[in-house]
A = this chain, B = another copy of it.
Amino acid sequence: MTTIRVRFAETDQMGVAHHSAYVVWLEAARVEWMRHLGLSYRELENEGISMAVASLQIQYRNAAYFDDELLIDTRLTTLKSRYGQFSYRIEGPDGHLVATAISEHISTDRTGRAVRLPSEWREALAGRIQPSHHGN
C-alpha cells in the first residue's frame, strides 16, 4: 500500500483533486510497489528500459480533497515477457473508495521498440500476479 498526500497544486477550482493528478499517483504507487519487491524502476530506466503506458482506465468514484492521505493498493494482474497489466484501488482517509484503475504497459527500449523485461525482473514479478480489483 502506498500513501499519497493530496497536494494543494493538485486541486482545481471545483475544490477537489483534479482527475489528472490520479494518473501521477498511480505511477508513483507502481514505482513504490516495485521498490517493495526489491526492484528499482530507476535502475531499469538507467539500463534503457521503460514500462511505457499503453492504456489507462480510471473510474472516479468519490472526490479526493486537499491534504487527504490516500491509500493506493497496486496489483500486478497480468505478466508477459514484454507486457504487464496493473490494477489499482485508491481509498480515502476513512477507507471509502476514491477510484479504481487499470494500466497496461509495454516494456520498451530507448527507441520505443518492445523488448523483453530483464530476466531478473520477470522472475521477481512472476510470483506476484494477483486478481484485479475489478473482479476478473
Which A positions have Cβ atoms within 8 angstroms of B? 5, 7-9, 11-16, 18-20, 23-24, 27-28, 31, 40-42, 45, 50, 52-60, 63, 65-67, 110, 112
Contact = CB atoms under 8 A, between A and B. Distances in A.
A53 to B, nearest CB: 4
A107 to B, nearest CB: 12
Copies in the complex: 4
Contact of A56 (B14, B50, B58): B58
16 contacts: A5-B28, A7-B24, A7-B28, A8-B12, A8-B31, A9-B12, A9-B18, A9-B23, A9-B24, A12-B12, A14-B50, A19-B53, A20-B23, A42-B67, A53-B60, A54-B60
Contacts of A58: 55-57
A81 to B, nearest CB: 20
A60 B40 CA distance: 24
A85 to B, nearest CB: 14
A45 B8 CA distance: 10
